[in-house]
Amino acid sequence: MRRLISLVLLLLLGTSCEKDITLDLPQDEVRLVVDGYVETGLPPYILLSRSEGYFNPIGISSLNNLPERGALVYISNGSDTVQLLEIDTLINGIRVSGCYIAIDPLSGTFSMTGVPGTTYSLHVITTKGEELRSKSKLQVPVSLDSTWFAVQGELDSLGWAFARLTDPDTLDNCYRWFARRLGKDSDFIPPFGSAFEDKFINGRTFDFAATRGSIQNSTAVDDKNAEAGYFKVGDTILVKFCTIDRATFNFWRDAENQLSGNGSPFAVPANIGSNIEGGLGCFATYAPVFDTIIARRP
């Protein structure tokens, strides 16, 4: 009986210590986000959207409200200014609104294309009168000396892509690597660590390895099994190696650092740098060179 009474008292004491706590989470400011690109020989295109609070519920209705429609988007190359045409497009099989591209609506031809050595200016005016501005210089491309594939360690047929680069003897060159497996990938995909600078390799010739990237939240079998991160003997690997400006490098360095630490309790939270005046995101320029690697055993 004494034990029973003691147990009841403990349960009552524990119950009396419980208290409902309601957290008053701060509301994040909704801001405009730019995902913009100017690439050699291609028309500039801009994706406009709105930021979403970290703790906000995610659903079809909220995602449909993110794209920024009806904006006036202008690109200037210093001598000509064109207004971008608003379209809906497919990205990784998903229809996306809020996309603006430098195409003439009457002829269907490009109204402007990227030219190395040119500085491009972005000006956005939303239907609410908000304005965004940014600038980015399309760099002169730096070619790779050579590329190849090598099986890693004791693996039978899995390996990485490799390249040799001679960095120009001018400090502050920045690069980003993409690759696409012919017949397997729908687009060029960057791996983690895809962006790097010449801070420690200025003017030198050096070799570097690149793992295989995957699309975020990919359900492909070879992104889930032992082949994840590897190319495979028999792959035809199309390489897209881009020379980028400092602002583009800073953005992707910060973004990749945050993605690599996602979910870790020891990761240091930080804001991702932006070159957008009045908003978030990045107005990026890419000067690519291309190469092909046939993945073979030595």
Q: What is the pLDDT along the chain (298 residues), one digit of tens a residue?
A: 556 555 555 555 555 555 666 655 556 678 899 999 999 999 999 999 998 766 555 554 445 568 999 999 999 999 999 999 999 876 666 667 889 999 999 999 999 999 999 999 999 999 999 999 999 999 999 999 999 999 998 898 999 999 999 999 999 999 999 999 999 999 999 999 999 999 999 999 999 999 999 988 888 999 999 999 999 999 999 999 999 999 999 999 999 888 776 655 555 666 788 999 999 999 999 999 999 999 998 7
Q: Which residues are CB-neighbours of 220 under 8 A, at least 6 positions away? A: 214
Domain ranges of the chain: 32-137, 146-265+288-294
Looking at residue 17, its pLDDT comes to: 54
Give the DSSP letter of residue 110: B
Looking at residue 259, its pLDDT comes to: 78
Looking at residue 6, its pLDDT comes to: 58
Classify burial at 38, counting beta carbons within 10 Å of its beta carbon; exposed 0-12, middle 13-18, buried 19 or more.
buried
Kindly give the pairing relationship between strand 146-151 and strand 85-91: unpaired
How many Cα atoms occupy the beta-carbon half-sphere of 250 within 13 Å?
15
Architecture per CATH, 32-137? Sandwich (2.60)
